[in-house]
Amino acid sequence: MKFLGIIPARYGSTRLEGKPLADIKGKPMIQWVYEKVLTTLDHVYVATDDERIKSAVEAFGGLAVMTSEEHTTGTNRCLEAMDIICKELQTSFDVVINIQGDEPLVHPEQIEALKNCFKNPYTELATLVIPVTESIDLENESEVFVTFDKNMKALYFSRMVIPAVQGVAKKDWMQHATFYKHLGLYAYTAEALKEFATLPQSMLEKLERLEQNRWLENGGHITVGITKHQSIPVDTMEDLERIRTYF
């Protein structure tokens, strides 16, 4: 199968403007992401709506395409980018991997785990989760949590900790259940990406501000893969300082 990696990156952010260009140990954050996934994908592009990001990517030798400022989700930006890239390269791809530009700890093995989900010919859309190992993550408002069934199909994504443990103090929840947080990585067949991006925003998507719920609410299936590699999504200045400390 032919895989295309796309990193949606926009300059505007309500909580941390310009975060793709935020410096981490002498490199912009988007460069850390790009260089890590390039080790496992033959084709990687940054899809942006800002010339500053495009220039930064090209400065470190990366590939970038300009997309519309009107996109409300990374999925829609990925679709436009895919169309542009396929036209430029005069080829097509079986699967598009949507890699978040604010996940500088992304690991090549995570990309491989996503690719492996498509060994099942019925997989249309896949994503990754990681078991929570530190109770502090249950208090982190930047995290997204997910529940899934015994067949590794996602049931729901939420910014609240799910499932809830009734009758137990939250500090003790991890003694009673394994919680999974969602990583900002998606992979779609080209057909599923086109369908997903053309669906209207759903109620649960708007309430949680999580676009993956749009697919579930319309009856779609999301295959879940489990990774052991930790990640810290950068949504706030506190997240950025935590990443800088980690590096």
Task: Give me the residue spans of the domains in the chain.
Answer: 3-246
- Check residue 14 and give its pLDDT: 67
d(Cα 155, Cα 89) in Å, to the nearest integer?
37
3-class SS shares of the chain: helix, strand, coil, % to 5: 35, 20, 40
One DSSP character per residue, 19-66 reads GGG-EETTEEHHHHHHHHHTTT-S-EEEEES-HHHHHHHHHTT--EEE
Taking the complete model, does pTM exceed 0.75, yes or no?
yes
For residues 11 and 29, give the distance between their C-alpha atoms in angstroms, rounded to a whole number: 12
Beta strand segments in 75-226, E:
95-99, 125-131, 145-148, 154-158, 180-189, 223-226
> For the segment 137-194, what is each residue's pLDDT rounded down to a tens digit?
898 887 899 999 999 999 999 999 999 999 998 889 999 999 999 988 999 999 999 9
* pLDDT (0 to 100) of residue 72: 77
> What pLDDT does residue 137 have?
86
User: At the fourth CATH level, which superfamily is domain 3-246?
Assistant: Spore Coat Polysaccharide Biosynthesis Protein SpsA; Chain A (3.90.550.10)
Residues of the chain scoring pLDDT < 70: 14
